[in-house]
Amino acid sequence: MTVDTRVEGRRGHGVHRLVVRVAVVFTVSFGLYYITWRWMDSVNWAAWWIAVPLVLAETYGLIDVSLFGLTMWRARRRGEPPAPIEGASVDVLITTYDEPPGLVRATARAARAIRHPHQTWILDDGDRPEMRAVAEELGVGYLTRGREWADRPRHAKAGNINNALMQTSGEFLVVLDADMVARPEFLDRTLGWFRDERVAFVQTPQVFSNVATGDPLGSQAPLFYGPIQEGKDGWNAAFFCGSNAVLRREALMQLGIVGYVQDTERSVALRLRDATAAVRRARRDHRADQALLPVLEKMLVALADARRALGNGEPLGDITYRLQRQVALADLRVGAGAVARVVAVVGARAGAGAGAGSAAAVVGRGPDDVGPRTGLEPDPDAGTDALNAVQLALRAIDVDRADEAQAILPLATISVTEDMATSMRLHALGLRSVFHNEVLADGLAPEDLGSMLTQRLRWAQGTMQLFLRENPLFARGMSPAQRLMYFSTMWSYLSGFATAVFIAAPVVFLVFGIAPVRSYGAEFMLHFVPFLAANQVLFLIGAGKTPTWRGQQYSFALFPVWIRACVSAFRNVVLHQPLTFAVTPKVRIHTNQPWRLVRWQLMAGVALAGCLLLALVRLSAGPQEFIPTAFNVVWVVFDLAALSVLIGAVRYRGYLAEEKN
């Protein structure tokens, strides 16, 4: 009986997949036909300032839908999981920073009640006594950062988990956000997938229990935690999403070790070069100083020796240890005064090359960097700076990752969305992932517009940081399809720019009569309508029973958030400016002026509504330009319908308040 239904299900799945593929082929073909015609024959070059942005935005859209098609092409529904591995040891990690202890308590109780044997831990980055009390009361573990994290980058949630990895020893670990209440069967339903030894992690959906009917804030992501993740899974590219996932410790440690080796090889070579250049410049500039030259010569000999050894492939541990000892010996042989002079001279030069990231290394070094300061000359400030700088240049040549609290950083720290970066690197190692499509935990979504916007901004920023820092298209180790699965998600966050154009174009036409297209006549419709229709059909089939309109509205209506995320991530990665970073609040933020949060959308809405009125007046006046005007009216109505989601969002008073009514 069960076998029969399963076969039938598989056959149904096969038919569905075939239909999806036909829709993909039609959509991409019609899309290419349309976009070729747009570029070659229909751009109104006279109004290039709007025509070119529009055709670019449309090209963006075609690439976006093609990537969606690729995602759907091999969608994988896994069905029943294999039985869990017997005797598997598991740590359940609950990450918290400033969430109320009562909320974490509920999460920890549920985690403790997971049926499969495991140890539950609260990872409290807030280091709060009341949180410790909750852990003691429930009899679960409690972990905070140790001394080694003082004065070093904490790496937020990734750092919190990395810290816990060093203090626990389970074969598998479950990661849960502070508000994610797990169901008892969580492990029974997921551990079995690890029977395949190459599987690094299993991700399950994230759903929220405090969402009012109609999901006014677009909190649920049914399309992502459904067809899209199933699609990515088909290409072995399911994403790790930071919570509700099980990970294999071995895979994470492997990742941490690969990262350590790469980082160490790169930094030793780089720092050797910088230090050598700095000492050489000092020798050139102070050729006459007889006290200084012998010391500089000794340093250069030591550095040259190290560089030669590096070229010969000697182990970095030996090279750096020898170098550090030679430098220390030079320090001992020369009197304190001479050292201070060397330091002042070399340091002034070396500072630039050593990099700001190493500043923490000096702080952690202990008393031996204080000694020589006694012999300093007139300008004590410059002397101290110079001392620090030379320490940086020479002492930073080491294999101890002194600027980090831990030598091994399994969870990626290069982005505020550590989860996506980590899963990308795991895939690049050739490991596998599973998306298990069954709700096994219920969380809490932000209940007000401000918190929701902060959360979306952070996700988008993290994704774009990764796009700029470790672009999947150029990262080694992944298959082309895996690269495109990551690229697809990153690409979708560029939509803000396209949306701005899709709002501006009809306004420009209806107000000034300037068309970006040579004509909105029959020829246009002939090219455009098949693409539009196929696109909609693909989306409907691909999504299946999943509700998608709310998600579509938000991806359109939050265009200022997406633009801001792209701009700030660019500033951060390329221009090295700090990223304003915020933890998504679990408690409501009250604001008196919610409308201010969506002022750009409000302006867009007013402009669109204004030209809608104008167009209706014009249409009623006569048949002139009827089709183009009508087409743009439909366009404006679509834009307004998408933006209208924000009216409900601004007026939303939270889950309890809504449900009482």
Partner 1 sequence: MEFKTEELGKDITLVRGNGRLNMIAAPRLRSVVAYAVENGRPRVVVDLSEVEFMDSSGLGSLISCLKTVRQAGGDLRIAAPATQVSMVLSLSNVDRILKPYAVAETAFDD
Positions that interact with partner 1 (CB under 8 A): 166-167, 169-171, 249-250, 253-254, 256-258, 260-261, 264-265, 313-318, 321, 364, 398-402, 406-408
Nearer of residues 230 and 404 to partner 1, judged by Cβ = 404
Nearer of residues 79 and 117 to partner 1, judged by Cβ = 117
- Strand partners of residue 182: 441
Distance CA(510)–CA(505), nearest Å, equals 9
The token pair at 530 is 């098949």
Task: Give the closest residue to 246 by CA, choosing from 446, 440, 467.
Answer: 440
Nearer of residues 328 and 630 to partner 1, judged by Cβ = 328
Nearer of residues 130 and 148 to partner 1, judged by Cβ = 148
Amino acid at 378: P
How many other CB atoms are found less than 10 A from the CB of residue 513?
11
CB of 255 to partner 1, least distance (A): 9
Nearer of residues 98 and 171 to partner 1, judged by Cβ = 171
CB of 27 to partner 1, least distance (A): 44
CB of 132 to partner 1, least distance (A): 21
Task: Give the closest residue to 563 by CA, choosing from 498, 466, 613, 628.
Answer: 498
Nearer of residues 402 and 602 to partner 1, judged by Cβ = 402
Buried b or exposed e, range 389-401, using 16+ CB within 10 angstroms = bbbbbbbbbbbeb
CB of 17 to partner 1, least distance (A): 37
How many other CB atoms are found less than 10 A from the CB of residue 273?
15
CB of 408 to partner 1, least distance (A): 5
CB of 364 to partner 1, least distance (A): 7
CA atoms within a 13 Å half-sphere pointing along the CA-CB vector of 139: 3
- Strand partners of residue 208: 443
HEC secondary structure over 195-258: HCCCEEEEECCCEECCCCCCCCCCCCCCCHHHHHHHHHHHCCCCCCCCCCEEEEHHHHHHHHHH
Kindly give the pairing relationship between strand 432-435 and strand 199-203.
parallel
How many other CB atoms are found less than 10 A from the CB of residue 238?
26
CB of 63 to partner 1, least distance (A): 37
CB of 365 to partner 1, least distance (A): 8
CB of 401 to partner 1, least distance (A): 6
Distances (CA, A) of 312 to 266, 270, 271, 316: 16, 16, 17, 11
Q: Where are the alpha helices (DSSP H) in 286-379?
A: 293-311, 316-333, 336-354, 359-363
Nearer of residues 313 and 378 to partner 1, judged by Cβ = 313
Nearer of residues 107 and 406 to partner 1, judged by Cβ = 406
Nearer of residues 170 and 648 to partner 1, judged by Cβ = 170
